[in-house]
Amino acid sequence: MGVLNVTPDSFSDGGLYLDPQVALAQAHRMIDDGADIIDVGGESTRPGAQEVSERQEMERVVSIVEALAADGIVVSIDTSKPAVARAALAAGAEIINDVTALRDDNMLRVLAESAPGVVVMHMQGRPRTMQALPMYRDVVGEVRDSLLKAAQRAESGGLRCSQVLIDPGIGFGKTAHHNWSLLASIDIFAATGYGVLIGASRKRFLGDLLNEQDPVARDDATAAVAVASVLRGASVLRVHNVSLIRRAVTVADAIVGAE
């Protein structure tokens, strides 16, 4: 899953793809590099991010989704707003990537209307405050149980198990220790029967480990996480550098296939 943020303030690529033509060129580049899905987002969810209005988010994403879908590209819409999700689905998106894990009951209505694929992600709190003081007694168990409830809500809206991905929400209301614990336990999430999406690309905990402040310079660390994630049972990787991660995952897939 290639990341396409049409936002001014995303942590890694904010402001790079505000021009629709530049955004579309980047999406096609990621497809050429081996992406299977393009995840289009019009609102940053980095720690401390400010919310944007429904109207502004739609203005950023709908035309991009429409153009990509018209080219036969599988598009995911990264939004927690039901109205934005509905508009993106009407424009041709096939997947809703909801970082709030269907907290809004209206998102269930959108699922019932269109039966798209859905990603339910765990987040403690909200983007503006999620990193203030994240606390868990059992981060793996609590995140798993929360995601199972969200996945079951999606199924109650008419989706099949195979249409639902669960995402432990690396970096969303978690310390670095929480993130590493979740990554070490991907097999526990995969054992639920749902596909597992991992979105660790370029995130701060990788930079903290390697003393690397530039998000782009964390791509090698992202590749290491990608390989480990596939070996533990992840189904989808949400990444910025598709070419590098595709090559790394090809190796990981060969190891899994040999098993």
- The full set of domain ranges for the chain reads 2-258
Average pLDDT on 211-220 reads 96
Active site residue 103: no
- CA 67, distance to chain mean position in Å, is 21
Average pLDDT on 152-163 reads 94
Q: At what angle do helices 105-114 and 139-156 cross, to 10 degrees?
A: 50
Please pick, among 81, 202, 232, 238, the residue that the annotation labels catalytic. Answer: 238
**Domain 2-258 belongs to what topology?**
TIM Barrel (3.20.20)
pLDDT tens digit sequence for 41-62: 999 887 766 788 999 999 999 9
Contact 230, 249 (CB under 8 A): yes
- DSSP string for residues in 62-104: HHHHHHHHHTT--EEEE-S-HHHHHHHHHHT--EEEETTTT-S
Please pick, among 203, 218, 232, 246, the residue that the annotation labels catalytic. Answer: 203
Active site residue 144: no
pTM as predicted:
0.94
Residue-level pLDDT at 128: 66
Average pLDDT on 197-226 reads 97
Query: Sorting pLDDT into bands at 50, 70 and 90, what band is 126?
Result: confident
